[in-house]
Structure 1
Protein backbone atom coordinates (compact mmCIF):
# COMPACT_ATOMS: atom_id res chain seq x y z
CA UNK A 1 0.00 0.00 0.00
CA UNK A 2 1.49 3.36 -1.00
CA UNK A 3 2.02 6.25 1.39
CA UNK A 4 -0.90 8.28 0.04
CA UNK A 5 -3.31 5.40 0.57
CA UNK A 6 -1.94 4.82 4.05
CA UNK A 7 -2.48 8.50 4.90
CA UNK A 8 -6.10 8.10 3.83
CA UNK A 9 -6.55 5.14 6.15
CA UNK A 10 -5.01 7.01 9.07
CA UNK A 11 -7.26 9.97 8.36
CA UNK A 12 -10.36 7.81 8.34
CA UNK A 13 -9.52 5.46 11.21
CA UNK A 14 -6.75 7.27 13.15
CA UNK A 15 -3.24 5.91 13.38
CA UNK A 16 -3.77 4.62 16.91
CA UNK A 17 -6.80 2.58 15.85
CA UNK A 18 -5.22 1.22 12.69
CA UNK A 19 -1.96 0.31 14.42
CA UNK A 20 -3.75 -2.48 16.28
CA UNK A 21 -4.40 -4.12 12.93
CA UNK A 22 -0.97 -3.32 11.50
CA UNK A 23 0.64 -5.01 14.47
CA UNK A 24 -1.51 -8.10 13.94
CA UNK A 25 -0.54 -8.03 10.26
CA UNK A 26 3.20 -7.87 11.01
CA UNK A 27 3.38 -4.28 9.78
CA UNK A 28 1.81 -4.91 6.38
CA UNK A 29 -0.67 -2.05 5.91
CA UNK A 30 -2.50 -3.71 3.01
CA UNK A 31 -3.10 -6.89 5.00
CA UNK A 32 -4.07 -4.76 7.99
CA UNK A 33 -6.77 -3.03 5.96
CA UNK A 34 -8.16 -6.38 4.84
CA UNK A 35 -8.08 -7.49 8.47
CA UNK A 36 -10.00 -4.36 9.45
CA UNK A 37 -12.65 -5.15 6.86
CA UNK A 38 -12.83 -8.74 8.08
CA UNK A 39 -13.39 -7.45 11.60
CA UNK A 40 -16.38 -5.50 10.30
CA UNK A 41 -17.75 -8.63 8.65
CA UNK A 42 -17.25 -10.61 11.84
CA UNK A 43 -19.11 -7.96 13.80
CA UNK A 44 -21.96 -8.12 11.30
CA UNK A 45 -22.11 -11.91 11.59
CA UNK A 46 -22.22 -11.81 15.39
CA UNK A 47 -24.73 -8.96 15.55
CA UNK A 48 -27.73 -11.10 14.59
CA UNK A 49 -27.26 -13.88 17.17
CA UNK A 50 -26.40 -11.31 19.86
CA UNK A 51 -29.52 -9.34 18.96
CA UNK A 52 -31.64 -12.43 19.53
CA UNK A 53 -29.85 -13.20 22.79
CA UNK A 54 -30.30 -9.71 24.20
CA UNK A 55 -33.96 -9.38 23.25
CA UNK A 56 -34.86 -12.94 24.31
CA UNK A 57 -33.10 -12.55 27.66
CA UNK A 58 -34.72 -9.19 28.29
CA UNK A 59 -38.22 -10.46 27.60
CA UNK A 60 -37.77 -13.70 29.54
CA UNK A 61 -36.50 -11.90 32.65
CA UNK A 62 -39.08 -9.15 32.37
CA UNK A 63 -41.93 -11.65 32.17
CA UNK A 64 -40.76 -13.51 35.27
CA UNK A 65 -40.35 -10.31 37.25
CA UNK A 66 -43.70 -9.01 36.07
CA UNK A 67 -45.30 -12.16 37.46
CA UNK A 68 -43.23 -12.07 40.63
CA UNK A 69 -44.22 -8.53 41.59
CA UNK A 70 -47.68 -8.52 40.04
CA UNK A 71 -47.30 -5.41 37.90
CA UNK A 72 -45.85 -4.39 34.56
CA UNK A 73 -43.64 -1.73 36.13
CA UNK A 74 -42.15 -4.21 38.59
CA UNK A 75 -39.01 -2.05 39.04
CA UNK A 76 -41.15 0.44 40.98
CA UNK A 77 -41.45 -2.04 43.86
CA UNK A 78 -38.61 -4.51 43.31
CA UNK A 79 -35.56 -4.31 45.63
CA UNK A 80 -33.14 -3.17 42.94
CA UNK A 81 -29.59 -2.34 43.97
CA UNK A 82 -28.49 1.29 43.56
CA UNK A 83 -26.85 0.56 40.20
CA UNK A 84 -30.08 -0.97 38.91
CA UNK A 85 -32.07 2.00 40.13
CA UNK A 86 -29.73 4.34 38.30
CA UNK A 87 -30.13 2.39 35.09
CA UNK A 88 -33.92 2.53 35.35
CA UNK A 89 -33.74 6.27 35.99
CA UNK A 90 -31.45 6.70 32.98
CA UNK A 91 -33.85 4.71 30.79
CA UNK A 92 -36.70 7.01 31.85
CA UNK A 93 -34.53 10.05 31.13
CA UNK A 94 -33.74 8.81 27.62
CA UNK A 95 -37.42 8.23 26.94
CA UNK A 96 -38.25 11.72 28.20
CA UNK A 97 -35.70 13.18 25.78
CA UNK A 98 -37.65 11.53 22.98
CA UNK A 99 -40.62 13.61 24.11
CA UNK A 100 -42.72 10.59 24.98
CA UNK A 101 -45.45 12.09 27.16
CA UNK A 102 -46.70 8.96 28.88
CA UNK A 103 -44.13 6.17 28.56
CA UNK A 104 -45.44 2.67 29.04
CA UNK A 105 -43.76 -0.14 30.92
CA UNK A 106 -42.85 -1.64 27.56
CA UNK A 107 -41.11 1.61 26.60
CA UNK A 108 -38.92 1.39 29.69
CA UNK A 109 -38.20 -2.32 29.25
CA UNK A 110 -37.02 -1.68 25.70
CA UNK A 111 -34.77 1.16 26.86
CA UNK A 112 -33.03 -0.77 29.64
CA UNK A 113 -29.58 -1.96 28.66
CA UNK A 114 -28.29 -5.48 28.18
CA UNK A 115 -26.00 -4.80 31.13
CA UNK A 116 -29.00 -4.08 33.35
CA UNK A 117 -30.60 -7.43 32.59
CA UNK A 118 -27.33 -9.33 33.02
CA UNK A 119 -26.75 -7.62 36.37
CA UNK A 120 -30.00 -9.07 37.70
CA UNK A 121 -28.31 -12.48 37.57
CA UNK A 122 -25.38 -11.50 39.77
CA UNK A 123 -24.77 -13.14 43.14
CA UNK A 124 -26.04 -10.10 45.04
CA UNK A 125 -29.49 -10.68 43.54
CA UNK A 126 -29.81 -14.37 44.42
CA UNK A 127 -32.32 -13.96 47.23
CA UNK A 128 -34.47 -11.26 45.66
CA UNK A 129 -34.52 -12.30 42.01
CA UNK A 130 -32.81 -15.54 41.03
CA UNK A 131 -34.26 -17.94 43.60
CA UNK A 132 -37.89 -16.76 43.58
CA UNK A 133 -38.24 -15.91 39.90
CA UNK A 134 -35.41 -15.63 37.41
CA UNK A 135 -34.27 -19.26 37.38
CA UNK A 136 -37.64 -19.96 35.75
CA UNK A 137 -36.63 -17.83 32.77
CA UNK A 138 -34.17 -20.57 31.74
CA UNK A 139 -36.33 -23.70 31.40
CA UNK A 140 -33.54 -25.63 29.68
CA UNK A 141 -30.78 -24.83 32.16
CA UNK A 142 -30.01 -26.72 35.35
CA UNK A 143 -26.54 -25.49 36.27
CA UNK A 144 -25.37 -22.94 38.83
CA UNK A 145 -26.37 -19.31 38.51
CA UNK A 146 -22.77 -18.08 38.63
CA UNK A 147 -21.79 -19.97 35.47
CA UNK A 148 -24.79 -18.58 33.65
CA UNK A 149 -23.91 -15.07 34.80
CA UNK A 150 -20.27 -15.52 33.78
CA UNK A 151 -21.27 -16.57 30.27
CA UNK A 152 -23.62 -13.61 29.93
CA UNK A 153 -20.92 -11.22 31.11
CA UNK A 154 -18.69 -12.51 28.32
CA UNK A 155 -21.49 -11.92 25.83
CA UNK A 156 -22.09 -8.44 27.21
CA UNK A 157 -18.43 -7.64 26.64
CA UNK A 158 -18.54 -9.00 23.09
CA UNK A 159 -21.73 -7.09 22.35
CA UNK A 160 -20.25 -3.83 23.63
CA UNK A 161 -17.05 -4.29 21.63
CA UNK A 162 -19.09 -4.80 18.48
CA UNK A 163 -21.40 -1.86 19.13
CA UNK A 164 -18.39 0.41 19.75
CA UNK A 165 -16.61 -0.81 16.59
CA UNK A 166 -13.72 -2.35 18.49
CA UNK A 167 -11.57 -5.30 17.35
CA UNK A 168 -12.96 -8.77 17.93
CA UNK A 169 -10.85 -10.65 15.35
CA UNK A 170 -8.24 -11.67 17.92
CA UNK A 171 -10.71 -13.24 20.34
CA UNK A 172 -11.77 -16.87 20.63
CA UNK A 173 -14.59 -16.42 18.17
CA UNK A 174 -15.63 -20.05 17.87
CA UNK A 175 -16.06 -20.23 21.64
CA UNK A 176 -18.03 -16.97 21.61
CA UNK A 177 -20.34 -18.33 18.92
CA UNK A 178 -20.87 -21.60 20.78
CA UNK A 179 -21.62 -19.67 23.97
CA UNK A 180 -24.27 -17.55 22.25
CA UNK A 181 -26.12 -20.59 20.96
CA UNK A 182 -25.80 -22.37 24.29
CA UNK A 183 -27.33 -19.42 26.13
CA UNK A 184 -30.10 -19.12 23.57
CA UNK A 185 -30.80 -22.82 24.04
CA UNK A 186 -31.33 -22.30 27.76
CA UNK A 187 -34.05 -19.80 26.89
CA UNK A 188 -35.69 -21.36 23.83
CA UNK A 189 -34.68 -24.10 21.38
CA UNK A 190 -37.08 -22.54 18.88
CA UNK A 191 -35.06 -19.32 18.93
CA UNK A 192 -31.88 -21.33 18.33
CA UNK A 193 -33.43 -22.90 15.24
CA UNK A 194 -34.46 -19.49 13.93
CA UNK A 195 -31.04 -17.95 14.47
CA UNK A 196 -29.21 -20.85 12.85
CA UNK A 197 -31.21 -20.35 9.66
CA UNK A 198 -29.60 -16.95 9.19
CA UNK A 199 -26.26 -17.48 10.89
CA UNK A 200 -23.34 -16.29 8.74
CA UNK A 201 -20.75 -17.13 11.37
CA UNK A 202 -19.24 -20.29 9.83
CA UNK A 203 -18.79 -18.63 6.44
CA UNK A 204 -17.21 -15.44 7.79
CA UNK A 205 -15.01 -17.20 10.33
CA UNK A 206 -13.31 -19.25 7.62
CA UNK A 207 -12.94 -16.41 5.11
CA UNK A 208 -9.73 -14.89 6.45
CA UNK A 209 -7.56 -17.92 5.78
CA UNK A 210 -8.13 -17.54 2.07
CA UNK A 211 -7.41 -13.81 2.04
CA UNK A 212 -3.70 -14.01 2.67
CA UNK A 213 -4.25 -13.47 6.35
CA UNK A 214 -2.16 -13.31 9.48
CA UNK A 215 -3.09 -16.63 10.98
CA UNK A 216 -5.81 -15.31 13.29
CA UNK A 217 -8.35 -17.62 11.66
CA UNK A 218 -6.64 -20.41 13.52
CA UNK A 219 -7.58 -18.79 16.85
CA UNK A 220 -11.22 -18.40 15.90
Structure 2
Protein backbone atom coordinates (compact mmCIF):
# COMPACT_ATOMS: atom_id res chain seq x y z
CA UNK A 1 0.00 0.00 0.00
CA UNK A 2 1.58 2.86 -1.50
CA UNK A 3 -1.63 4.72 -0.87
CA UNK A 4 -1.30 8.49 -0.92
CA UNK A 5 -2.45 10.45 2.05
CA UNK A 6 -5.78 12.18 1.48
CA UNK A 7 -5.87 15.95 1.77
CA UNK A 8 -7.58 16.44 5.12
CA UNK A 9 -7.94 20.17 4.50
CA UNK A 10 -9.97 19.79 1.32
CA UNK A 11 -13.28 21.58 1.63
CA UNK A 12 -16.46 21.25 -0.49
CA UNK A 13 -16.45 23.58 -3.45
CA UNK A 14 -19.05 26.30 -4.05
CA UNK A 15 -21.20 24.04 -6.20
CA UNK A 16 -21.42 21.49 -3.42
CA UNK A 17 -22.28 24.07 -0.82
CA UNK A 18 -24.91 25.77 -2.91
CA UNK A 19 -26.38 22.44 -3.98
CA UNK A 20 -27.33 21.38 -0.50
CA UNK A 21 -24.47 18.91 -0.13
CA UNK A 22 -23.41 17.65 3.32
CA UNK A 23 -22.54 20.40 5.77
CA UNK A 24 -20.36 20.34 8.86
CA UNK A 25 -23.15 21.47 11.22
CA UNK A 26 -22.46 19.73 14.54
CA UNK A 27 -25.62 20.90 16.30
CA UNK A 28 -27.11 17.41 16.23
CA UNK A 29 -24.20 15.89 18.12
CA UNK A 30 -24.14 15.59 21.92
CA UNK A 31 -23.08 18.88 23.48
CA UNK A 32 -20.34 17.23 25.55
CA UNK A 33 -18.72 15.84 22.40
CA UNK A 34 -18.67 19.25 20.75
CA UNK A 35 -17.34 20.90 23.92
CA UNK A 36 -14.52 18.45 24.48
CA UNK A 37 -13.63 17.27 20.97
CA UNK A 38 -14.28 20.60 19.10
CA UNK A 39 -16.64 21.46 16.28
CA UNK A 40 -13.72 21.65 13.85
CA UNK A 41 -12.74 18.03 14.50
CA UNK A 42 -16.28 16.68 14.52
CA UNK A 43 -17.36 18.62 11.45
CA UNK A 44 -15.31 16.31 9.25
CA UNK A 45 -17.33 13.35 10.50
CA UNK A 46 -20.61 15.16 9.91
CA UNK A 47 -19.58 15.88 6.32
CA UNK A 48 -18.53 12.27 5.78
CA UNK A 49 -21.91 11.16 7.17
CA UNK A 50 -23.80 13.36 4.72
CA UNK A 51 -25.00 15.69 7.46
CA UNK A 52 -26.50 12.85 9.52
CA UNK A 53 -25.47 13.63 13.11
CA UNK A 54 -26.37 10.18 14.42
CA UNK A 55 -24.27 8.51 11.74
CA UNK A 56 -21.46 11.00 12.34
CA UNK A 57 -21.39 10.08 16.03
CA UNK A 58 -21.19 6.38 15.16
CA UNK A 59 -18.44 7.09 12.65
CA UNK A 60 -16.42 9.08 15.17
CA UNK A 61 -16.45 6.28 17.73
CA UNK A 62 -15.80 3.66 15.07
CA UNK A 63 -12.74 5.68 14.00
CA UNK A 64 -11.56 5.56 17.62
CA UNK A 65 -12.20 1.82 17.77
CA UNK A 66 -10.39 0.97 14.52
CA UNK A 67 -7.49 3.22 15.51
CA UNK A 68 -7.17 1.30 18.78
CA UNK A 69 -7.33 -2.01 16.91
CA UNK A 70 -4.53 -0.99 14.54
CA UNK A 71 -2.29 -0.08 17.45
CA UNK A 72 -1.33 -3.68 18.22
CA UNK A 73 -0.15 -4.78 14.75
CA UNK A 74 1.43 -1.39 13.99
CA UNK A 75 3.36 -1.36 17.27
CA UNK A 76 4.41 -4.95 16.65
CA UNK A 77 5.72 -3.98 13.23
CA UNK A 78 7.58 -0.96 14.59
CA UNK A 79 9.32 -2.93 17.34
CA UNK A 80 10.12 -5.86 15.04
CA UNK A 81 11.60 -3.66 12.29
CA UNK A 82 13.58 -1.65 14.83
CA UNK A 83 15.09 -4.74 16.42
CA UNK A 84 15.78 -6.48 13.10
CA UNK A 85 17.66 -3.46 11.73
CA UNK A 86 19.49 -2.90 15.01
CA UNK A 87 20.63 -6.53 15.13
CA UNK A 88 21.99 -6.43 11.58
CA UNK A 89 23.84 -3.16 12.11
CA UNK A 90 25.25 -4.30 15.46
CA UNK A 91 26.63 -7.41 13.77
CA UNK A 92 28.00 -5.42 10.85
CA UNK A 93 29.90 -2.91 12.97
CA UNK A 94 30.67 -5.18 15.91
CA UNK A 95 29.18 -2.84 18.50
CA UNK A 96 25.77 -2.12 20.01
CA UNK A 97 26.19 1.60 19.42
CA UNK A 98 26.69 1.00 15.69
CA UNK A 99 25.64 4.59 14.90
CA UNK A 100 29.05 5.71 16.13
CA UNK A 101 30.65 3.82 13.21
CA UNK A 102 27.98 3.67 10.50
CA UNK A 103 27.94 6.31 7.72
CA UNK A 104 24.79 8.05 8.91
CA UNK A 105 23.59 11.33 7.44
CA UNK A 106 23.32 14.58 9.36
CA UNK A 107 19.63 14.18 10.17
CA UNK A 108 20.03 10.61 11.41
CA UNK A 109 22.96 11.63 13.61
CA UNK A 110 20.91 14.49 15.01
CA UNK A 111 18.10 12.09 15.93
CA UNK A 112 20.56 9.77 17.68
CA UNK A 113 22.03 12.71 19.63
CA UNK A 114 18.54 13.90 20.64
CA UNK A 115 17.50 10.39 21.71
CA UNK A 116 20.69 9.97 23.73
CA UNK A 117 20.23 13.31 25.47
CA UNK A 118 16.56 12.60 26.23
CA UNK A 119 17.42 9.20 27.70
CA UNK A 120 20.01 10.85 29.93
CA UNK A 121 17.55 13.49 31.11
CA UNK A 122 14.92 10.91 31.94
CA UNK A 123 17.17 8.42 33.74
CA UNK A 124 19.82 10.70 35.23
CA UNK A 125 22.54 8.30 34.09
CA UNK A 126 24.58 7.50 31.01
CA UNK A 127 22.12 5.83 28.64
CA UNK A 128 22.83 2.36 27.30
CA UNK A 129 22.63 1.47 23.63
CA UNK A 130 19.33 -0.32 24.33
CA UNK A 131 17.97 2.89 25.86
CA UNK A 132 18.82 4.85 22.72
CA UNK A 133 17.43 2.19 20.37
CA UNK A 134 14.13 2.18 22.22
CA UNK A 135 13.95 5.97 22.18
CA UNK A 136 14.53 6.37 18.43
CA UNK A 137 11.25 6.95 16.57
CA UNK A 138 9.93 4.72 13.80
CA UNK A 139 10.82 7.38 11.24
CA UNK A 140 14.50 6.98 12.06
CA UNK A 141 14.40 3.28 11.27
CA UNK A 142 12.29 3.67 8.12
CA UNK A 143 14.81 6.22 6.83
CA UNK A 144 17.57 3.61 7.06
CA UNK A 145 15.82 1.71 4.24
CA UNK A 146 15.60 4.82 2.03
CA UNK A 147 17.65 5.55 -1.07
CA UNK A 148 20.08 7.61 1.01
CA UNK A 149 21.49 4.43 2.52
CA UNK A 150 21.12 2.06 -0.42
CA UNK A 151 24.82 1.54 -1.17
CA UNK A 152 26.28 1.75 2.32
CA UNK A 153 23.63 0.04 4.47
CA UNK A 154 20.94 -1.72 2.44
CA UNK A 155 23.05 -3.61 -0.08
CA UNK A 156 25.75 -4.90 2.28
CA UNK A 157 23.68 -5.36 5.43
CA UNK A 158 20.07 -4.31 5.92
CA UNK A 159 18.49 -6.51 3.25
CA UNK A 160 19.20 -9.41 5.63
CA UNK A 161 16.73 -7.96 8.11
CA UNK A 162 13.92 -8.92 5.70
CA UNK A 163 14.85 -12.47 4.70
CA UNK A 164 11.58 -13.14 2.89
CA UNK A 165 11.61 -9.95 0.83
CA UNK A 166 12.77 -10.33 -2.77
CA UNK A 167 11.50 -7.11 -4.34
CA UNK A 168 13.01 -3.67 -4.82
CA UNK A 169 14.18 -1.73 -1.81
CA UNK A 170 12.19 1.31 -2.97
CA UNK A 171 8.92 -0.61 -2.74
CA UNK A 172 9.75 -1.84 0.74
CA UNK A 173 10.58 1.68 1.86
CA UNK A 174 7.31 3.02 0.44
CA UNK A 175 5.32 0.40 2.32
CA UNK A 176 7.16 1.04 5.57
CA UNK A 177 6.71 4.77 5.19
CA UNK A 178 2.99 4.34 4.55
CA UNK A 179 2.74 2.41 7.81
CA UNK A 180 4.68 5.19 9.53
CA UNK A 181 2.22 7.79 8.25
CA UNK A 182 -0.75 5.68 9.36
CA UNK A 183 0.83 5.24 12.78
CA UNK A 184 1.32 8.99 13.07
CA UNK A 185 -2.28 9.75 12.10
CA UNK A 186 -3.49 7.35 14.77
CA UNK A 187 -1.15 8.73 17.44
CA UNK A 188 -2.36 12.26 16.66
CA UNK A 189 -6.02 11.13 16.90
CA UNK A 190 -6.69 12.06 13.27
CA UNK A 191 -9.41 10.51 11.07
CA UNK A 192 -8.43 7.32 9.27
CA UNK A 193 -11.92 6.13 8.28
CA UNK A 194 -11.51 7.55 4.77
CA UNK A 195 -8.48 5.36 4.04
CA UNK A 196 -8.56 1.93 2.40
CA UNK A 197 -7.93 0.30 5.74
CA UNK A 198 -8.23 -3.24 4.40
CA UNK A 199 -5.34 -2.47 2.05
CA UNK A 200 -3.42 -0.87 4.91
CA UNK A 201 -3.95 -4.01 6.97
CA UNK A 202 -2.77 -6.25 4.12
CA UNK A 203 0.38 -4.15 3.67
CA UNK A 204 1.12 -4.36 7.37
CA UNK A 205 1.01 -8.16 7.27
CA UNK A 206 3.11 -8.36 4.13
CA UNK A 207 5.78 -6.40 5.99
CA UNK A 208 5.54 -8.63 9.06
CA UNK A 209 5.85 -11.64 6.79
CA UNK A 210 8.98 -10.25 5.16
CA UNK A 211 10.56 -10.38 8.61
CA UNK A 212 9.23 -13.80 9.59
CA UNK A 213 6.06 -15.76 8.88
CA UNK A 214 5.70 -16.83 12.51
CA UNK A 215 5.76 -13.19 13.53
CA UNK A 216 2.87 -12.36 11.21
CA UNK A 217 0.90 -15.40 12.38
CA UNK A 218 1.46 -14.62 16.05
CA UNK A 219 0.34 -11.01 15.70
CA UNK A 220 -2.70 -12.05 13.65
CA UNK A 221 -3.97 -14.25 16.48
CA UNK A 222 -4.34 -11.15 18.64
CA UNK A 223 -5.47 -8.71 15.96
CA UNK A 224 -8.99 -7.25 16.18
CA UNK A 225 -8.76 -5.12 13.02
CA UNK A 226 -10.71 -7.50 10.72
CA UNK A 227 -13.61 -7.70 13.18
CA UNK A 228 -13.71 -3.94 13.60
CA UNK A 229 -13.57 -3.35 9.84
CA UNK A 230 -16.61 -5.60 9.47
CA UNK A 231 -18.54 -3.18 11.71
CA UNK A 232 -17.69 -0.12 9.69
CA UNK A 233 -20.65 2.27 9.41
CA UNK A 234 -22.09 2.52 5.92
CA UNK A 235 -21.67 6.06 4.66
CA UNK A 236 -23.68 7.78 1.90
CA UNK A 237 -22.02 7.84 -1.50
CA UNK A 238 -20.35 11.14 -2.28
TM-score range, shorter chain: over 0.9
| Residue in structure 2 matched with residue 195 of structure 1 by the alignment | 219
Structure 1 residue 96: Cα displacement: 2.0
Q: What do the CA deviations read for 1:115-144 (whole angstroms, capped 9, x no partner)?
A: 000000000101111011000001101111
Separation in 2 of the partners of 1:215 and 1:60? Answer: 43
Distance 1:51 1:73 in 2: 23
* Structure 1 residue ranges without an equivalent (≥5): none
**1:179 paired residue number:** 203
Instruction: State which of 107, 113, 120 in structure 1 corresponds to 2:144.
Output: 120
Question: Alignment length, in residue pairs?
Answer: 213
Report what 2:130 is aligned to: 106
Q: Secondary structure at the match of 2:232?
A: helix
Spell out, residue by residue over 1:43-73, the C-alpha distance to the aligned partner (whole angstroms, 9 max, x if none): 1111111011000000000000001111000
What corresponds to 2:97 in structure 1? Answer: 73
SS at match of 1:23: helix
What 5-or-longer segments of structure 2 have no aligned partner?
1-25
Distance (Å, rounded) in 2 between the aligned partners of 1:135 and 1:95? 29
- What is the CA distance between 1:33 and its match in structure 2? 1.3
Matches of 2:28 and 2:200, distance apart in 1: 37
The answer to whether the Cα contact below 8 Å between 1:6 and 1:29 also exists between their aligned partners in 2 is no
> Do the aligned residues in 2 keep the contact of 1:184 with 1:191 (CA within 8 Å)?
yes
CA shift, 1:192, in A, is: 0.7
Render the CA deviation track for 1:11-68: whole Å, top value 9, x for unaligned: 1111111111011011122211111100011011111110110000000000000011
Structure-to-structure mapping, 1:1-220, within 5 angstroms: 3=27, 6-209=30-233, 213-214=234-235
Cα separation, 2, equivalents of 1:203 and 1:40: 14
Displacement of 1:4 after TM fit? 8.3
